[in-house]
Amino acid sequence: MEIIGKVSKGSKMDQIYIPKNRGGFPIGDYVIITALSKELEAQDKKKPYFYNVKFIEPLKLRIIEEIFRILDKNVKNYENIIITGSFLEKGFYFNDIDILFISDEKSKIEKFEQMIENQTGIKPHIILVNNKSLIQGLSTDPLYQSMLSRCVSKKRLIYKVNSKINYKLLDLQLLKSKIIFENFDILSGSEKYYYLQNMIAILLFLKSQKITKDEINKNIEQLFGLSVDKIKFNLLDKKVFLKKYREIYNKIFNKIIRNIKNATK
């Protein structure tokens, strides 16, 4: 662990103040004080960019900074590193860390995932994508829009895209959410929520509505009459839930198939 402090003038002795809320250096420890180069100081002041993340636990922030450090140290050329997904939600109910790594180079993702897991103790899920593919994904894939609606990035995000409905692609995306019908009893609450948010994101996309985590959750609660937490903790009435789920799924599916057929005429 490293903490950067500034030497302050004292009445009898000069001193360095460090925060009380820290993950290391308990009182009584001996430490080494060394000068910080101007280059490293400038780099340290470059904080991550937060998008619709109103609060994040200090421990999570340290993990994010460690991920940025590992990837930055091992890859010379890349566009950006973006942290997204359930890791950014309040609390510690996540299973892994979703990382969008924007680069034109073919990097050894498995190697980096292992390095991150060794350093943080948390399993990462790195998605390697180039800038062109990301922009295309934001235009046609509601899940990309959902992912970037709440994220933390190493560099500033500047993406202005227009949504383009590709019904064949949406048909494939919706197919993911069909798994709930056959596997309801063996899926965890978090898995049910994942497939549900995928379906609702497609619904919002077809309505040309804004796709954010908050909007998805609001629609889930309105349509199902359930809190998102109740779904994540798997506190569901199977019969009632599946009846509503099937109704919405079929409505979306029929609209997609109808437009695919119209396009082929």
Distance CA 71, CA 227 (A): 37
- Return all residues near 17 (Cβ < 8 A) that are at least 6 apart: 5, 6, 8
- Return all residues near 51 (Cβ < 8 A) that are at least 6 apart: 148, 149, 150, 151, 152, 153, 157
Instruction: Evaluate whether 56 touches 88 at the Cβ level (below 8 Å).
Output: yes
The domains found in the chain, sorted by start residue, are 47-153 (3.30.460.10), 167-264 (no CATH)
Choice between 40 and 235, residue whose per-residue pLDDT is larger: 235
**With bands split at pLDDT 50, 70 and 90, how would you rate the model's confidence at 1?**
low
* 71: its two tokens: 């990837």
Phi and psi dihedrals of 158, rounded to 5? -135, 90
Residue 23 pLDDT > 80: no
Q: Give per-residue pLDDT as tens, 126-136.
A: 999 998 899 88
Residue 15, beta-bridge partner list: 8
* 19: its two tokens: 């925060």
Q: Give per-residue pLDDT as tens, 89-102.
A: 888 878 789 999 99
In the prediction, which pLDDT does 18 show? 78
Residue 36 pLDDT > 70: no
Per the listing, tokens 């998605």 go with 127
Model's pTM, two decimal places?
0.73
Residue 83 parent element (H or E):
strand 80-84
Instruction: Evaluate whether 151 touches 99 at the Cβ level (below 8 Å).
Output: no
DSSP 116-127: HHHHHSS-EEEE
Distance CA 20, CA 23 (A): 9
**With bands split at pLDDT 50, 70 and 90, how would you rate the model's confidence at 162?**
confident
CA angle at residue 64 from 58 to 67, to 5 degrees?
Answer: 145
Residue 40 pLDDT > 60: no
Mean pLDDT, residues 37-46: 54
Distance CA 170, CA 142 (A): 9
Helix residue spans in the chain (DSSP H): 38-44, 58-74, 109-120, 131-140, 142-149, 167-176, 179-183, 189-206, 213-224, 228-232, 238-264
